[in-house]
Amino acid sequence: MATYQPYNDYSTVTGGGFENNESRPSSGDTTAENRTNTLTPVTIKQILNSTQEIQDGPFVSHGQELQYVCFVGVVRNITDHTSNIYITIEDGTGQMEVRKWTDDSNDMKASQEDSENSGGASQVSQQFQIGTYVKVYGSLKEFSGKKNIQYAVIKPIQSFNDVLAHHLDAIKWHSIATGRISDPANSGSAMSTSVGQSNNNNGSGQSLFVSDNAGSNANTSEGDVRDRVFRFIKEQCANKDANQFAVPIQLVCQTLNIDEDVARQSCATLTDQGSIYPTFDDNNYFAL
């Protein structure tokens, strides 16, 4: 796995957290306030600065409810506890510690035996390397006054394009929450990701973000497949618990009669769009 130029050592740069002193629109000025079942791309600073407006309620950052979140960053430290590891992740706006549990039976056995020498690093810790980029998915919770990502899924990033794409998504949803651009016209469809014109539009009719169906019609069939995949996963996940249920990629292929590579590409795109996310592993998905 390729490594990339990390952020400046524990960067003190305050940018990227989307702080501003401008007045923000009231709840009636934006439709982005009730996105509690959406996987929201954020920066670590947004997570750390989020607050609960009501006791035991969702965390809120600049009008966005942060229930399920995802962020990218550089692995700064790994603390191995055999059955689980703590990974310190930094993204240039802040850093936080994420716990990852092992699925390896040898790790669990070593933990149960409480061996003083378990033979070196656990299997789960060997999946990650300091200085590499990862993407984290999970539910934002708070324990003992400290914010945590519950049931975290941590995936190594293979291409730096994924880092850039995540930050663009974070900017987009922050802009929607603060009323700078409009929310997707059809919030019920994962494929409707076109957004309104920027408040700073010069009147040329150009938007800050490109609509999914802009350009040639070459991607129409691909979009139709993604739409079918999303609708199927969404239907299967209705009224289900994300901690105990997920839709296997093989079931998607068999039911929709599509090639596995096509299904995986569709799921990868839907994950980047925040419509679904991997749960137990990269072969099982849950829709939000």
Specify if 173 maps to a domain.
no
Total of domains in the chain: 2
Q: Which of 166, 194, 227 corresponds to the end of one domain?
A: 166
Specify if 94 maps to a domain.
yes
The answer to whether 136 and 154 are in contact (CB under 8 A) is yes
136 and 47 within one domain: yes
36 and 137 within one domain: yes
How large is the C-alpha radius of gyration of the chain?
20
What are the tens digits of pLDDT across the range 249-279? 999 998 899 998 899 889 988 888 878 888 8
134 and 34 within one domain: yes
Q: Tell me, what CATH number does 258's domain have?
A: 1.10.10.10
Specify if 36 maps to a domain.
yes
Q: Is the pLDDT of residue 5 over 80?
A: no
CB burial of 179-191 (b: ≥16 within 10 Å; e: otherwise) equals: bbbbbbeeeeebb
Specify if 195 maps to a domain.
no
Q: Is the pLDDT of residue 9 over 90?
A: no
Give the sheet arrangement for strand 284-287, strand by strand: 247-248, 284-287, 276-278
158 and 41 within one domain: yes
What are the tens digits of pLDDT across the range 155-201? 999 888 999 999 998 888 888 888 777 765 444 443 333 334 334 44
DSSP 3-state percent helix, strand, coil across the chain (nearest 5): 30, 25, 50
Entry pTM: 0.53
Specify if 260 maps to a domain.
yes
Give pLDDT, residue 95.
Answer: 93
The answer to whether 61 and 45 are in contact (CB under 8 A) is no
153 and 46 within one domain: yes
137 and 49 within one domain: yes
Q: Tell me, what CATH number does 52's domain have?
A: 2.40.50.140
Task: State the pLDDT confidence band at 75, using cuts at 50, 70 and 90.
Answer: very high
231 and 101 within one domain: no
Distance of CA 56 to the CA centre of its chain: 22
157 and 269 within one domain: no
- Supply the range of the domain harboring residue 275: 216-288
Task: State the pLDDT confidence band at 106, using cuts at 50, 70 and 90.
Answer: low
**Average pLDDT value for the chain:** 74
Specify if 22 maps to a domain.
no
